[in-house]
């Protein structure tokens, strides 16, 4: 093809080697290409190429009614897709001014924290895999499977969940879902402790990851880092605390912060975030139980009553009542009114601030929808981070940044 790879002068004179850490590579998780200039084993410079999984979501979103955009958001950060779904629903609810009942908020928090745990489990175990420790990866997936089963009990899908509706959920959580969540809360701490005992104070893992891939807080802020990568560098910015959504202000949790921003710090920050997420889920279940004890009718609350216009009616009504049938038809065909407006709304995803910039002109589809994707923004810093490091360090750094190709390219 006509796009030529530019070979550095030094490479032609055999002072440096050009190495293609190609798009298909077992160590790059997702399709990422980096053209590295190597001086022996050290990296002199790196040129990343992205866009291998670009699927034109923003263009597609301009042609889809609001409900049909939720499956697109699934596929952004597909390791924690419920967070993306709910971020989108929260964006539209803020634009429409819908107030969400507390029980719905707490249920959303449970689902979002479960998906955050799933995302961090993948990232941390994969850092282990890249240093050669395969056991922890395989072991931790048992708990990811439990989380998948919880999602399946709530919405029917495991990975790309399309969970929830504007105003809440499509149906109440079955008792089976609550049983699975309770079983998960009992079984997971033991598993997480075993995972930590394999890696956290492991001499080899520490030497592979400490002092590797570090970034200072000033550079990280200048590169618009968010999420665990920024917190590992020392800045305690978390969207759940700074701009609380979905009743996060009712919860008591801490934000783990690192110091040097290296791979080990990111590993520890994500581990601690998993423990904090567990604590949040426990608090949410207690709060729901308290709501239901005070008012037993709360058990049936799974969406906001004022979002009736945006919520598919129950099937019994659709088949028997005329208004419900009309509503159902109009919603599925996308004829729901969204007033003109412009909003930027963000949630704390597995990788940082996932933002939705929505411009609505009153039509059935958005006029412009832009996803602020944290992975895309912090991957820019990768060449600066790995400059001067060894090739093996570059691989470990890439996996510690938790680059999810779907979110990078959208």
Which residue, among 316, 209, 197, 324, has the nearest Cα to 264 in the 3D structure? 209
16 binding other proteins? (CB under 8 A): no
Strands ordered across the beta sheet of 368-372: 341-348, 353-360, 368-372
DSSP H helices, 223-304, are: 228-232, 239-242, 263-294
- If one asks whether residue 340 binds other proteins (CB under 8 A), the answer comes out as no
Task: Tell me the window of 20-28, 47-55, 148-156, 271-279 that interacts with other proteins (CB under 8 A).
Answer: 47-55
Q: Exactly one of 156, 305, 368, 388 binds other proteins (CB under 8 A); which one?
A: 368
Nearer Cβ to other proteins (43/385): 385
* C-alpha closest to that of 244 among 229, 235, 255: 255
Q: Where are the beta strands (DSSP E) in 17-164?
A: 17-21, 33-39, 42-49
Give me 115's structure tokens: 């998906």
Nearer to other proteins, 200 or 224 (CB): 224
322: buried, middle or exposed (CB in 10 Å: 19+, 13-18, 0-12)? exposed
Closest distance between other proteins and the C-beta of residue 111, in Å?
Answer: 24
Q: Which is nearer to other proteins, 127 or 239 (CB)?
A: 239
Site string for other proteins, 86-125 (x = CB under 8 A): --------xx------------------------------
Instruction: Choose, by CB under 8 A, the member of 69, 126, 235, 257 that binds other proteins.
Output: 235
Query: Of 105-113, 281-289, 299-307, 372-380, which part binds other proteins (CB under 8 A)?
Result: 372-380
Enter the tokens of residue 16.
């440096």
Closest CB 237 distance from other proteins, rounded Å: 6
Beta carbons within 10 angstroms of residue 84's beta carbon = 31
Tokens representing 339? 């007033």
Q: What is the spatial distance between Cα 199 and Cα 197, in angstroms, rounded to a whole number?
A: 6
Give the one residue of 8, 18, 58, 152 binding other proteins; rule: CB under 8 A: 58
Tracing tokens 């581990």 back to the chain, one arrives at: 271
Candidates 151-159, 194-202, 220-228, 283-291 — which segment interacts with other proteins by CB under 8 A?
220-228
Q: In 3-state terms, what secondary structure has residue 387?
A: coil
Shortest separation between residue 100's beta carbon and other proteins, angstroms = 16
**Is residue 319 involved in binding other proteins (CB under 8 A)?**
no
Rg (CA), the chain: 23
Other Cβ atoms less than 10 A from the Cβ of 207: the count is 12
Tell me how many residues contact other proteins (CB under 8 A).
Answer: 44
Selected range binding other proteins among 80-88, 100-108, 129-137, 371-379, rule: CB under 8 A: 371-379
Question: Tokens standing for 356?
Answer: 């939705």
The correct pick among 15, 222, 254, 259 for binding other proteins (CB under 8 A) is 222
In angstroms, the CA 372 to CA 348 distance is 12
Specify the DSSP element, H or E, that contains 307: none
Binding segment toward other proteins, per CB under 8 A, in 77-85, 202-210, 374-382, 395-403: 374-382
Does position 372 interact with other proteins (CB under 8 A)? The reply is: yes
Q: Which of 325, 300, 299, 330 is nearest to 314 (CA)?
A: 325
255 part of the interface to other proteins, by CB under 8 A: no
Binding mask 345-364 for other proteins (x = CB under 8 A): xx------x-x-x-x-----
| Residues near other proteins, by CB under 8 A | 1-3, 50-51, 54, 56, 58-60, 62-63, 94-95, 219, 221-225, 235, 237, 242-243, 341-346, 353, 355, 357, 359, 367-368, 370, 372, 376-377, 379-381, 409
């Amino acid at each position: 093809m006509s796009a030529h790879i530019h070979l550095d002068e030094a490479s032609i004179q055999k002072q440096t080697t050009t190495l293609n850490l190609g798009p298909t590579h077992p160590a790059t998780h997702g399709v990422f290409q980096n053209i590295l200039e190597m001086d022996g084993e050290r990296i002199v410079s790196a040129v990343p190429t992205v866009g291998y999984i670009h699927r034109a979501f923003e263009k597609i979103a301009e042609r889809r009614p609001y409900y049909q955009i939720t499956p697109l958001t699934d596929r952004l950060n597909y390791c924690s897709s419920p967070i993306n779904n709910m971020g989108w629903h929260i964006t539209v609810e803020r634009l429409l001014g819908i107030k969400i009942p507390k029980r719905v908020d707490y249920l959303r928090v449970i689902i979002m924290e479960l998906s955050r745990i799933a995302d961090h489990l993948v990232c941390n175990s994969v850092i282990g895999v890249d240093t050669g420790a395969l056991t922890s990866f395989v072991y931790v997936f048992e708990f990811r499977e439990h989380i998948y089963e919880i999602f399946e009990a709530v919405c029917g899908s495991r990975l790309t969940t399309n969970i929830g509706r504007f105003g809440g959920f499509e149906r109440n959580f079955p008792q089976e879902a609550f049983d699975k969540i309770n079983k998960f809360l009992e079984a997971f701490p033991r598993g997480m402790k075993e995972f930590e005992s394999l890696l956290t104070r492991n001499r080899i893992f520490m030497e592979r990851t400490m002092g590797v891939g570090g970034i200072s807080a000033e550079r990280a802020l200048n590169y618009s880092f968010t999420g665990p990568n920024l917190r590992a560098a020392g800045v305690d910015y978390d969207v759940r605390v700074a701009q609380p959504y979905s009743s996060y202000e009712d919860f008591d949790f801490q934000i783990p912060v690192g110091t040097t921003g290296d791979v080990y710090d990111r590993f520890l920050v994500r581990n601690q975030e998993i423990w904090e997420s567990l604590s949040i889920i426990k608090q949410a279940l207690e709060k729901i139980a308290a709501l239901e004890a005070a008012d037993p009718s709360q058990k049936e609350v799974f969406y906001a009553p004022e979002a009736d216009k945006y919520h598919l009616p129950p099937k019994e009504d659709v088949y028997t009542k005329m208004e419900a049938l009309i509503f159902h038809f109009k919603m599925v065909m996308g004829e729901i009114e969204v007033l003109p407006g412009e909003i930027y709304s963000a949630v704390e995803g597995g990788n940082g601030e996932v933002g939705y910039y929505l411009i609505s002109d009153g039509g059935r589809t958005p006029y412009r929808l832009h996803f602020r994707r944290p992975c895309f923004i912090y991957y820019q810093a990768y060449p600066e981070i790995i400059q001067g490091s060894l090739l093996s360090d570059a691989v470990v750094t890439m996996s510690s940044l938790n680059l999810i190709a779907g979110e990078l390219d959208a």
